[in-house]
Structure formats: C-alpha cells, structure tokens
Amino acid sequence: MAEASSEIREMVVAKAINAALRDALAEDPTTLLIGEDIGPLGGVFRVTEGLQAEFGETRVVDSPLAESGIVGTSIGMAMRGYRPVAEIQFDGFVFPGFNQITTQLAKIHNRTDGAVSVPVTIRLPYGGSIGSIEHHSESPEALFAHTAGLRILAPSNPQDAYWMTRAAIASEDPVIVMEPKRRYWLKGPVDTAAAPQDVHSAEVIREGSDATIATYGPLVPVALAAAEAAAEDGRSLEVVDVRSISPLDDETIARSAAKTGRLVVAHEAPTFGGFGAEIAARVAERAHHRLLAPVLRVGGFHMPYPPSHQEGRYLPDIDRMLEAVERSVAHSSRASSPV
C-alpha cells in the first residue's frame, strides 16, 4: 500500500471510490478501468475524475457506448490476466449487458470446471431519489443475487465504499459493487491503512432492543434516522447494515432479529420478488421461535420506477420504516392476525 494513502481522511463516497480505484491502479499494472465517459470527463458522477490523466488512456478506457461490449470485452481481458473494472453509467442501462453478466461472466469459472477465472468488477450506480428521468433510479440487485457466480456488495458509507471496491478488484470472482448514487456526496472517515475487513459480513451499526431494521446501501442513513426518531418516542431500534448481498450474512441478521424479536427489512427495490424476501425467509428459518412477529418488508411498489416527481411517495422513508415497526410491535397474538 502506498504510504501517501495510509491515513484516515474525511471524504465523500464518490471520492472514496476514486481513491480505491487510484490505489488499485497504482498497485497492480493489470488493473484497468473501462466505461462510458470515464476518461477526460471523469464519469458522469466524477468517480473516475483525474484517473485517465494519471494512468493514461490504455488503463482508463473510454469505451464505445455499448454495455454488452463493456462487459464482454472485460471478460476477454480478464481471461487474459487483466483485472478490468467496468463502470455501467446508470442502473437502468445495465440491461444491454445483462446477457454477458448472467450467461457469461457469472458462469465461466463453473463452465471451465474452475480452469478460468474472470476477475471482473462491475461498478453499478443504483437507486433513486435523484430527481432523474426514467431508467436512472432503479435497484436491480435481486436479479443479480439470483445469479450464482456473482458476488454483490452494497456499501452504504465512504469506508465501505473504499474497501469494498478494493476487495472487489482483488477478488478472483466477478463482483458487482452496487454504488448508492444518492449517497455519492455522503461524507465520512476512510482509513485506507486499516486491514481489509470481511466485506461479506453484515454489521450491527446501532444497538437496540425493541425491533431490528435491516437494510443496505442508500437506505442505511434512513434507517439510522428512523431509529433516532423512534428513540425520541421511547422505542429502541437496532439497525443492521446488510453490506453484502451475495454471499449473504444471514446469521448476523437472524441473531439481531432473535435478540429484538422483530425484523423489518427495507430496500428501494420493489418488495415483490425482491431481495428482502430472501432475508425474510432466511431469518424465519433460523429464528422462527424467537420472533414475536412476522418479518415485515418495506420497499418500492410493484410498478416501474415512477416519474421522479412521485419518487418521494414511492421510496421507503423514515415514516414507512416506523410504520412497519409499529405494525410489527402491534402484532402480538396469533388469534388477532387475520390471514
């Protein structure tokens, strides 16, 4: 690790990812970045700002405007020993590359009986609340979670953004890093010298006793704010940052749910068929007898992401989380719950 970067610094999420990319590029000549507008512009979110000037056009590659091409050529480079980091500009544009991700990237290690690794990192800015037009606010993580062969990380803060990006690039497996785009400007401390933690574990980030809220990425600050508001009303909420979607540390989440007896899972993606269902099912299996209420979910509705004028009503907020907590608390006896 370069001396210059071994220190604790306050930085925003976007800058933390930028620092992680810079450190990875500096350390390993086989690491390279590819994506649309990531060169002189520095990406539409400026995450790659300054990197092409520093590392050159062959290592920070402005690609043709073609997501399947970005993922597909990254696979080819990875087969040859490179470690490409592909940027998909927005969540809604990952779908032209979906075939390459799901039928190729995820399966090549298995297809070749382990003979070929494809250490490709895909950076995917996702989620809403940025007031944008269609296809710029989606949360497709469940589609990738359902695909064996992919690892999926969901940082919620600058420290995780730095280390998860580093871990993704270092991994021999393909990793999708879900970047919480509305939190790109969230500031926090980043210790670039700290030994890499287990990026695939969930973390209890606020202790509580009445109920647990488990969430990841952009909704983590919302859950913390909900817990703060609940505390003022005398309700003690525990908050778990799920952090890793695949693999999933269901044990940590179940332990928290068993402790408080109540679990609310929140994400921006629609609840129907969403990743929260996986968490709910696993916690129910592990902690059924310790739960005082069914696991409840808070998320988007079963509709295409609405015109962003309406996203305030669509996205889970503090009130929606607290409403679910109250429903959970109100659920006390078997007889009183209609099917």
Partner 1 sequence: MQPIQLLAPDGTLTEDETYSPYVDALDESTLRDLYRSMVVERRVDAEATSLQRQGQLSLWVQALGQEGAQAGTVTALRATDMIFPTYREHVMALHRGITPQQLVAQFRATAHSGWRPQDHRFNTYGVVLASQTLHATGWAMGIQRDAAAGVEAARDELVLACFGDGASSQGDVHESMVFASSYELPVLFFVQNNQWAISVPATTQARGPLADRAVGYGFEGVRVDGNDVLASYAVAARMAEQVRGGGPKLIESVTYRMGAHTTADDPTKYRTADEVEEWGAKDPVARYSTWLRGRGLIDDAFIDAVEAEAQDLASDLRRTIHELTPVTLEENFDTVYAEPHRQIEVEKAWLRDYEAGFAEDSAAGGKGGA
Active site residues: 136
Q: By C-beta, is 32 or 291 nearer to partner 1?
A: 32
Query: What's the min distance (Å) between Cβ of 115 and partner 1?
Result: 4
Q: By C-beta, is 34 or 220 nearer to partner 1?
A: 34
Cβ neighbours of residue 297 closer than 8 Å, sequence gap 6 or more: 264, 265, 266, 271, 274, 276, 277, 280, 324
| Omega of the bond leading into 40 within 30 degrees of 0 (cis) | no
Q: Which of 10, 28, 41, 110 is close enough to bind partner 1 by CB under 8 A?
A: 110
44: left (phi over 0), alpha (psi -120 to 50) or beta: alpha
Query: What's the min distance (Å) between Cβ of 248 and partner 1?
Result: 7
Site stretch for partner 1 (CB under 8 A), options 5-13, 168-176, 204-212, 233-241: 168-176
Q: Does 73 bind partner 1 (CB under 8 A)?
A: yes
| C-alpha span between 313 and 51 (Å, rounded) | 38
Site string for partner 1, 29-48 (x = CB under 8 A): x--x----------------
Q: By C-beta, is 54 or 172 nearer to partner 1?
A: 172
| C-alpha span between 227 and 20 (Å, rounded) | 31
Q: Does 50 bind partner 1 (CB under 8 A)?
A: no
Q: Is the alpha carbon torsion for 162, 228, 215, 251 positive or negative?
A: positive
Tokens of 248: 């999933």
Site stretch for partner 1 (CB under 8 A), options 154-162, 178-186, 225-233, 240-248: 240-248
**Residue 336: how many CB atoms within 10 A of its CB?**
8
Q: Does 196 bind partner 1 (CB under 8 A)?
A: no
| C-alpha span between 286 and 226 (Å, rounded) | 26
Q: Does 78 bind partner 1 (CB under 8 A)?
A: yes
Q: Does 53 bind partner 1 (CB under 8 A)?
A: no
Are 198 and 252 within 8 A, CB to CB?
A: no
Q: Which of 15, 83, 109, 123 is close enough to bind partner 1 by CB under 8 A?
A: 109
Q: Determine which helix (DSSP H) or strand (DSSP E) holds 215, and give its type and residue range.
A: strand 211-215
Q: Which of 89, 139, 171, 192 is close enough to bind partner 1 by CB under 8 A?
A: 171
- Positions that interact with partner 1 (CB under 8 A): 29, 32, 58, 63-64, 66, 68-69, 71-82, 84, 96, 99-100, 103-104, 107-117, 119, 148-149, 151, 171-173, 200, 246-249
